[in-house]
Structure 1
């Protein structure tokens, strides 16, 4: 490492430390003046005032305690509280994240505009907020679909690489929050007169910059705090980071000593690309500011991380200065990314950071204490009886609130109301989370010298119900949704595995006459493979989960679907058609036997499918006949699709022609897997129409992913050579549209399919996870 660069970085930190020290002593002087609690009590009295009566009377306890997103928003709308709720929430974001002052007419106008737009959005829909489909539609409107797709791919990759021992949901949430924060800053800086092209360009860059900076949370902050790496590995990794931050270029990879080499190699590569992207995109002036804040943030984190709770000798400055620096620099970093250099806003951002950090540290107190982490709260809890000189962090927390209200924001009443509401909300949430007993146990330590003031706070906590904030509701909802979806996906995968395993036992075809039967042997060769069994799995779930049909009675249907699908693959692989040599990880049937046997086996399996369907004798005869008629029709349509495919070789198809061929060749088979159990269940026509639309779009999305895997996939994962489509001169979505546009088309069909499920019962939700699998699969 270059000594000059290291010295310069250390000077930057020392300069920041002086600023933090000045702020810290200003807070100590506020505490010594004994103005904090009497003044804040007056502010609290103003907060209570007349509005309190309506607040107490209109807030039903059940709605307040149960913060389930949809019902809570519905209650806010019903009681006419939504506007004030959103005004409070958006005002707080403008204070905390954007460094704005609420006494500015311009800021108030901007807040009112955002509140009206958000209120319109929330009253229009009662569903989960900011769903993937909605976000993609927004990206389309802003002409940044490619950026959205890039981000989805990146978020998936990050999730796939977060190791056990780390909180995957919170890591992903923090990354998304940072991206949203950078976008928020960019929106605030953009003028209304900006052209749509320039707007798209700036939004694209904001998303990419937000992702690149946000990576530091899961892959630096969280990774170094977790127990994933050994102590030696943490030192190696820290040295890599320090070298990068001081040299301002990615440190070269060196030999790694430890069992987590593969993880750190990935992290080093991804962070390296992110670091380089930021380095290339920001101006020299912004670059200096950004990397100064990066080093301050990293250095303050490292200082805190190396502390040991067993050391009783830390001074107050040693405890608080790194906290002030890491909390302020984390927000100043976001501001520096967009090149804003408003000194007044930067100063407000600097002062605000400590408020959030002390609030967060209080929330994480027991978790930090158990892990031995040193924070002002854990250290005070450990040594308050032994050291009279220690500053009480809870007292300092209120001093920060006093300082913000009366020194930074010049006693603005609206600001005081917002900040105090937020503080009371934080304490209420912690009390609910910890429970009455544990909360008061903590307060016996942290509030023992502020009894009168704390009693006022407790009264307000018990009386005032509407101190909630939208960002907290979104945070809780996001984590709950992630947890719910992960559970549902796990259930879906386990259910799929069970169906697949059970079906594999039943698919084998027995000999009719006890003699050698080459066709039967060939059929069993094709059936006995590592196949996904996707169509019978879908049919099974449609039948049992949505329409409560008996699993045993539909087994002939499931077998028939796999027989028909396997037959279509045998024909598809023939030399006269696609001439494939590998299928499902082993030689295709015509390679293992010969073309004549393959042709006869395909025909044999098609007839076995009809034979199975004819055994559905527990259903109404007319219904079974309708099923067989539908099945025969779909088989004929699939043949047409394959014929179109063969005719198209060497020709450049248009997108409509490609969609038609895809539907006939692939989509119909998927539709059959959905419609055939619905025929047996005699499902309503309206639901059949919705599911046909779902099948059409899901089938095309599946095929586009197949085409993408043929150029981007890995042979050892997908079980067949890549590049077959190009070798066969076949028209595919990639060859017709190119990779980028093909991905956009896949996401469009994904959205159309998801939207078609809105009219289906909740029991059909597994089909949403199936769609996620379609576009995220690797084989």
Structure 2
């Protein structure tokens, strides 16, 4: 073991040292520019050229004639609309996409090919933004809509990869330790996936064959997820307090061993606060590691491991620093961040097994620290609270004791000057984009911390470059048109993820609360003097009612009736009972030997097993009649509306019987998809429809709204049934409460038998999208229904 560890160390040194030496040389050249202040004069000249496009002098008349007042960028839709109205959207997107091409793709902006690619992407994004921000559904941006992502996957013929990655992201979200920022962890993961996709898209054009395009995008989605997983489950996890010191060392050694040996070690026994989460993280990272490794060409595999090690080791060096150590040198502070910021992007092309590109490698190597210093500046107060060592936190702590320390703000501007003039050869477009980004970062900081704190920060960091700083601060106060689309998307994504989590928590709390209420309503009492035989029927009915169940149908009716239509909660209790009585009756009939012949339901013996088929049949009839009686007792509503409801309910009950008859007649027969959709709607979708429509009838809603609810219910019901079919194939009996494999045993045609497992998943997502799109026509809040739909297709039982 000791010999193996020495071999690993030697191997690691061989990988790391040359990169470290290159970073040290880069640092030395920057240090020399800072000492000589050679960057100041050139940047002053750059800013004088730059400000011509950003400092505007308007007359009062021109100000009054320029149209709408600029909205807050937090209002995503209105802000995009304002940019378009003011004729600013093209430039806004151009600088944003240009920046991404420099940062993530390592491109030189003076390249004609790069400009063509940028303009093509700008046009596509602009068309998409204008189309989506003009819609009336502003609850969620389409780029964050699951249905929108799936529709893109359909267009590109990569639905399977999209389904796969959506399931993966959901699983990761459920396993992020509470000590981590879940929204930012998922945002980073999504950002990496999108970055890898962008790399692949940039390699293709209109001449790429559709099959090759789909194959490349499918692989990019999967590789992007596998690489992106390192951010929440390695970088963020090790930066957080989720693991103690010993666990972090154990975990780091495991990662290091995997990179150096090419094999992920077994987890072994893991104790501690996150013992329930770490096995999932380990298994997911191992799967991701193997996927990336298996998709490397033999000639790029060593490069992948080498760059992965440089990235991880430079991160690890930085991570173990403590702010109480007074003796870190400037090299200690800057060399690791040069390496980690560059290697994090260099590794993307390694993951993709892309051809060696010296221009890309060099530009990416020199560019990385620019972003890292900007990020560290934005995060310095949070980093100070956490005791994290960055050039900013260390300088803030020891600047008065250590005159040798380099001011990181000066380093930042020296890097910018070096990039503009030495890396990108004084290209005007590059200067424009980099200075846009720099001023935007300072504007955002000023807005975030307030003027007093911002001035205090500048007094500390900018005192060594007074002439340049005076010009910079003038730009911060006066310059326009320096904001970026990726920042807008970032803020919108974090807000959306946070809102989704809040809404999801509210959704499940609502379900739990309403279910508890409903469970107290369902018991059928036995009054004195009733015949003995009726007592046994009531007992049988209560047995079926008390065996649990999701109670989705009465919950849906309660939410729509009370929350959306404002109906009195006590007044609609008979409706809730009727829905569950009818649903339970349908299950009793389904389970009979003459139909599905099920032995268990909701984890208990079915009713005909507890008694006999005759009692089960009579109990089902009894519950249906009880349901009719409950509906007739809706005394607090308009009598005509109640009669309409009863008529609707009777018609739908008859339709359900027809659906069950069609299902029975189809056993052993090969059905078409259209036939299966019809049976599914009559058996399942109608019950969902009734749960939504019956409260709307009582509220005397418009017929157009009722039609929208019916359309939503149709597609939601089919999606729900397809999920049932998939669970029967691959679910777990202890979660389902009934045996799996019943469909195959009964020779029943299902979406899985007709379409196959993957085809059934695609069909489920198609109906998910159609149900989601139907909600756009709803004139009221649809948050609950959106989360209900998500629950339907992601449930485990």
- State how 1:689-728 maps to structure 2 within 5 Å: 689-728=707-746
Contact kept? 2:574, 2:634, Cα under 8 Å: yes
Aligned to 1:733, which of 731, 751, 762? 751
Q: Deviations over 1:616-647 (max 9, x none)?
A: 12222221111111101111110111111111
Aligned to 1:423, which of 400, 420, 438? 438
Quick one: distance in 2 between partners of 1:244 and 1:750? 40
Q: Deviations over 1:199-233 (max 9, x none)?
A: 11111111111111111001110111111112111
Most deviating of 430-439 and 135-144: 430-439
Quick one: distance in 2 between partners of 1:579 and 1:102? 69
Structure 2 SS opposite 1:80 = coil
Quick one: distance in 2 between partners of 1:385 and 1:3? 41
The equivalent residue for 1:622 is: 640
The equivalent residue for 1:766 is: 784
Q: Deviations over 1:291-340 (max 9, x none)?
A: 11100001001111111111100110011100100000000011222213
Contact kept? 2:71, 2:78, Cα under 8 Å: no
The answer on 1:414 being equivalent to 2:432 is no
Aligned to 2:591, which of 573, 582, 588? 573
Q: Deviations over 1:331-361 (max 9, x none)?
A: 0011222213110111001111000111111
- State how 1:56-135 maps to structure 2 within 5 Å: 63=70, 65-126=72-133, 127=138, 128-130=141-143, 131-135=145-149
Q: CA deviation at 1:443?
A: 2.2
Structure 2 gap ranges (5+): none
Q: Deviations over 1:533-562 (max 9, x none)?
A: 101111112222322222222111111111
Number of aligned residues: 779
Contact kept? 1:20, 1:321, Cα under 8 Å: yes
Q: CA deviation at 1:758?
A: 0.5
Structure 1 gap ranges (5+): none
Q: CA deviation at 1:438?
A: 2.3
Q: CA deviation at 1:284?
A: 1.7
Aligned to 1:197, which of 205, 211, 219? 211
Contact kept? 2:73, 2:488, Cα under 8 Å: no
Quick one: distance in 1 between partners of 2:331 and 2:577? 72
Structure 2 SS opposite 1:778 = coil
- State how 1:268-287 maps to structure 2 within 5 Å: 268-287=282-301
Q: CA deviation at 1:404?
A: 0.5
Contact kept? 2:590, 2:596, Cα under 8 Å: yes
Most deviating of 444-453 and 25-34: 444-453
Contact kept? 1:55, 1:464, Cα under 8 Å: no
The answer on 1:687 being equivalent to 2:705 is yes
Contact kept? 2:671, 2:749, Cα under 8 Å: yes
Quick one: distance in 1 between partners of 2:566 and 2:71? 37
Contact kept? 1:55, 1:466, Cα under 8 Å: no
Q: CA deviation at 1:672?
A: 0.9
Q: CA deviation at 1:54?
A: 6.2
The equivalent residue for 2:41 is: 38
The answer on 1:667 being equivalent to 2:716 is no
Aligned to 2:391, which of 365, 376, 386? 376
The equivalent residue for 2:669 is: 651
The equivalent residue for 1:446 is: 461
The answer on 1:529 being equivalent to 2:547 is yes
- State how 1:377-526 maps to structure 2 within 5 Å: 377-515=392-530, 517-526=535-544
Q: CA deviation at 1:589?
A: 1.5
Q: CA deviation at 1:62?
A: 6.5
TM-score normalised according to structure 2 size: 0.95
Contact kept? 1:545, 1:764, Cα under 8 Å: no
Quick one: distance in 2 between partners of 1:170 and 1:112? 30
Contact kept? 2:54, 2:481, Cα under 8 Å: no
Contact kept? 1:702, 1:775, Cα under 8 Å: yes
The equivalent residue for 1:185 is: 199
The equivalent residue for 1:14 is: 17
The answer on 1:47 being equivalent to 2:50 is yes
Cα-Cα RMSD: 1.7
The equivalent residue for 1:747 is: 765
Q: Deviations over 1:171-198 (max 9, x none)?
A: 1111111111111010111242121111
Quick one: distance in 1 between partners of 2:737 and 2:480? 58
Q: Deviations over 1:653-709 (max 9, x none)?
A: 111111111011111111111111111112112112211111100000000001111
Q: Deviations over 1:16-65 (max 9, x none)?
A: 00110111011112112322222212211212126521699779996354
Contact kept? 1:304, 1:322, Cα under 8 Å: yes
